[in-house]
Amino acid sequence: MTEDGRGGRDDEDGRDDGGGERADGGCRADGSHRPDGGEQAGKRSAVRSLLRLWPYVRPVAARLFGSAGVAVLASCLSLLIPLVLKWLVDGPVARHDPAGVWLGGGLVLLLGVLEAGLFGVRRWLVARPMAGLEAHLRRDLYQRLQRLPVAFHDRWGSGQLLSRGTNDLQILRMFLTFPLVFLVVNSTTIVVGFAILLTQQWTLGLILLVPVVPLVVLCSYFESRYSLATRRAQDQIGDLTTLVEESVLGIRVIKAFGRHRSQARAFRDQSHGLRGTELRKAALLGDLWAVITGLPDVALGAALVAGCVQVSDGSVSAGTLVAFLSTALTLRWPVESLGWLLSLSNEAATAADRYFEVMDTPEPPDAPRQDAERADGVERRAGGAGTADGIRFDGVRFRYPDAPAGTLDLLTGIDLHIRSGETMALVGATGSGKTSLTTLIPRLYEVSAGRVTLDGADAALMPRDRLRSLVATAFEDPTLFSASVRENVLMGAPGASDEELLRALAIAQCGFVHDLPDGVETQVGEQGLSLSGGQRQRLALARAVVGRPRFLVLDDPLSALDVHTEALVEAALRQVLATTTALVVAHRPSTVQLADRVALLSRGRIAAVGTHRELLAGSAEYRWLMSGGTDERSAA
């Protein structure tokens, strides 16, 4: 299995996705982890990871700190109740004063109501800002994913990215809303509470302080172990999400080949792996809770015995012992909650690490301003003077960024000139790199060496927005989105008019659109699976031509069409190709007939260029390809 849950493939470009290691922190699709990912999770500082969220927290820091202050005040009010009890026991109760007892009871009730009200204010202060902060994090993550290169998305499983944008961000919001605040509140409560205990009876207070050192040591040990388990669980959630997503999108393939049992086994295995990790987390947390609960309770029992002895010999009043024990019991939850809060903090730190793994991935550099201006100037001069140069590949070499070290370049030196206004067909055996070559024009991938120029302007020096406004692409595997037909087609030219939309639909022979329930406003559904393969391919072609691009790249655009529809599309497409510079990947003679010239790609180089007739006469490999020969024979 590969990092995105699929089997290794040998695709059109000869890329072997294999089963290499992931770039997402050490988790593979089968649930295993790289050693370095686990070590990083164990060594990293949770505090340092969480501090990276400060730029997002800063705008809402006033309300966050305000909520912490309100919660501290509410918690301190609860510590006043034992002092009121001391006054009650040593005063009105000892004097048999009913009025004083009612007054004390009223004070306790008032303190309880104030505490509850302040906690309500705390939640009001943070609820809306934290929801906005989560939305801000999600927006930035989505924008970064849109800007990262295709090579990044080749390496990462979609479920890993989805879990980072949903589950991890929810964990961060919940941490900032509750655990972070109560780490401050409960720590402050413990300090203030122990100060009150030592003031009331310092000998008993020292007994309760005895477990502090072992608790600190155990919490430190717990943090390192729990961090490893948390990271593993969150990575496994991402892998499981990938499996579920692919199973839903590929449900037709699964049913057609009867693979539901094998998919169910894969889901069961990954689910059991996640279950085991969650049980490991629960065991660690249970051990910590046992220690955090047990040691303070033993100390409290010892203090109770010592306090009773002191009351019996008259050195301590009954009210003081009641107040002491009430304060100690009030501190029980803040002390016990530390283990739970630490576990949530570790989960949040891991979620922050996973979030910033994506955010720290460098974006590909765009053209510097001076280079962009120079390229734009060349482009204007070429267009204005009527000396448009078309598309040139000069000594272009290319290998995929994630290719193993020592792998040979896929393209080993491409020199090709597609004249302005010319249509060039690109043919070659499967795996020769045809699709890879087409992706270099719009810079979906960057060339390893050499350069690609458009009308004399170096594509590498052009801002991507400008470059992709000049180049339109239709891929062999058409991708449609859960949107209307209109929205899908107009992705190729957002400002296009209805007339231009209808023109593009007509060129691509998309008359079927008008028979859909709502015409061009019909929702095509996820991945466009409500349409046939040929219909999806025609809509993708319409998307490519709707903006009347200066340069057009078509990757076998007619492969899913029947013979009759193919002939109609070809006839309409000739009109478009006559007004643009185009590179068309072709596998069939009918598609080659659309081109003015043909380039044969073989062994990473352009082996021959000429008309269809010329190559038929002069190239045995080309003749074999056009006759439908196998790859092995053509390579020979």
Check residue 355 and give its pLDDT. 92
> Looking at beta carbons, which pairs linking 385-388 to residues 24 or more positions away fall under 8 Å?
387/456, 388/420, 388/421, 388/455, 388/456, 388/581
Check residue 257 and give its pLDDT. 67
How far apart CA 301 and CA 278 sit, in angstroms, is: 34
Q: Please provide the distance, in angstroms rounded to a whole number, between the alpha carbons at the two ends of the chain.
A: 31
Q: What is the mean pLDDT of residues 486-499?
A: 86
Q: Assign domain 59-359 to its CATH architecture.
A: Up-down Bundle (1.20)
Q: What is the mean pLDDT of residues 21-46?
A: 45
How far apart CA 57 and CA 23 sit, in angstroms, is: 28
Closest CA to 354 of 459, 241, 253: 241
Which of 207 and 622 is assigned the larger pLDDT? Answer: 622
* Residue 501 scores a pLDDT above 80: yes
Q: Which two tokens stand for residue 512?
A: 């079927």
Parse the chain into domains and list their residue ranges: 59-359, 373-635
How far apart CA 333 and CA 340 sit, in angstroms, is: 11
Check residue 629 and give its pLDDT. 57
Lowest mean pLDDT among 279-288, 325-334, 396-405, 624-633: 624-633
Say if residue 370 is exposed, middle or buried (CB neighbours under 10 Å; 0-12, 13-18, 19+): exposed
How far apart CA 415 and CA 605 sit, in angstroms, is: 8
Question: How far, in Å, are 293, 333, 337 from residue 288 at the CA level?
Answer: 8, 14, 11
Check residue 526 and give its pLDDT. 66
How far apart CA 281 and CA 237 sit, in angstroms, is: 14
Torsion of Cα atoms, 453 then 365 then 145 then 542, to 10°: -20
How far apart CA 447 and CA 460 sit, in angstroms, is: 9
Any bridge partners for residue 13, and if so which?
none
In contact, 86 and 319? CB cutoff 8 Å = yes
How high does pLDDT run on average in the chain?
80
How far apart CA 489 and CA 544 sit, in angstroms, is: 8
* Residue 503 scores a pLDDT above 50: yes
Check residue 451 and give its pLDDT. 92
Check residue 367 and give its pLDDT. 54
Other C-beta atoms lying within 10 Å of the C-beta of residue 8: 12
> pLDDT digit string (tens) for 99-108?
878 887 888 8
* Residue 326 scores a pLDDT above 60: yes
Q: What is the mean pLDDT of residues 128-146?
A: 89
User: Where do we find the tokens 């070290």?
Assistant: 405
Closest CA to 573 of 455, 474, 476: 474
Core vs surface per residue 144-166: b (16+ CB within 10 A) or e = bbeebbeebebbbbbbbbbbbbe
Q: Provide the 3-class DSSP secondary structure of residue 335.
A: helix
In contact, 194 and 205? CB cutoff 8 Å = yes
How far apart CA 518 and CA 623 sit, in angstroms, is: 47
3-state secondary structure labels for all residues of 430-441 = CCCCHHHHHHCC
Check residue 418 and give its pLDDT. 93
In contact, 159 and 244? CB cutoff 8 Å = yes
Check residue 533 and give its pLDDT. 77
* Residue 417 scores a pLDDT above 80: yes
> Looking at beta carbons, which pairs linking 515-521 to residues 24 or more positions away fall under 8 Å?
516/485, 518/484, 519/485, 520/484, 520/485, 520/486, 520/489, 521/484, 521/485, 521/486
Query: pLDDT band at residue 450, thresholds of 50, 70 and 90?
Result: very high
If phi > 0 it is left, if psi is from -120 to 50 it is alpha, else beta; for residue 45 that is beta
One fold for 59-359 and 373-635: no
If phi > 0 it is left, if psi is from -120 to 50 it is alpha, else beta; for residue 10 that is beta
Check residue 318 and give its pLDDT. 80
User: Where do we find the tokens 């024009």?
Assistant: 441
DSSP states of 33-67: B-HHHHHHHHHS-HHHHHHTTHHHHGGGHHHHHHH
Lowest mean pLDDT among 114-128, 246-260, 372-386, 559-573: 372-386
Any bridge partners for residue 457, and if so which?
454
> pLDDT digit string (tens) for 167-192?
889 889 988 888 888 888 888 888 88
Q: What share of the chain is helix, strand, coil (3-state, %, to 5)?
A: 65, 10, 25
% of the chain beyond a pLDDT of 70 = 86
**At the topology level of CATH, where does 373-635 sit?**
Rossmann fold (3.40.50)
How far apart CA 570 and CA 559 sit, in angstroms, is: 12
Any bridge partners for residue 600, and if so which?
427, 608
Q: What's 527's DSSP letter?
A: G
Q: What is the mean pLDDT of residues 406-421?
A: 89
Lowest mean pLDDT among 18-22, 139-143, 196-200: 18-22
* Residue 498 scores a pLDDT above 60: yes
Query: pLDDT band at residue 154, thresholds of 50, 70 and 90?
Result: confident
* Residue 44 scores a pLDDT above 80: no
How far apart CA 90 and CA 296 sit, in angstroms, is: 27
Check residue 328 and give its pLDDT. 81
Which residues, including other chains, have CB under 8 Å from residue 46's CB and lie 6 or more apart? 223, 227, 345, 346, 349
Query: pLDDT band at residue 599, thresholds of 50, 70 and 90?
Result: very high
pTM: 0.71
Question: How far, in Å, are 188, 395, 480, 533, 536 from residue 528 at the CA level?
Answer: 56, 39, 5, 9, 7
Helices (H), 148-168: 150-155, 158-163
* Residue 352 scores a pLDDT above 80: yes
Which of 129 and 79 is assigned the larger pLDDT? Answer: 129
Query: pLDDT band at residue 140, thresholds of 50, 70 and 90?
Result: very high
Check residue 341 and give its pLDDT. 82
In contact, 130 and 124? CB cutoff 8 Å = no
% of the chain beyond a pLDDT of 90 = 12
Q: Which two tokens stand for residue 10?
A: 């040998």
Which residues, including other chains, have CB under 8 Å from residue 135's CB and lie 6 or more apart? none
Which of 134 and 367 is assigned the larger pLDDT? Answer: 134
- Quote the longest CA-to-CA distance of the chain: 120
Q: What is the mean pLDDT of residues 14-21?
A: 38
* Residue 22 scores a pLDDT above 70: no
Check residue 6 and give its pLDDT. 35
Q: Which two tokens stand for residue 124?
A: 């009001």
Check residue 18 and give its pLDDT. 35
Q: What is the mean pLDDT of residues 439-453?
A: 91
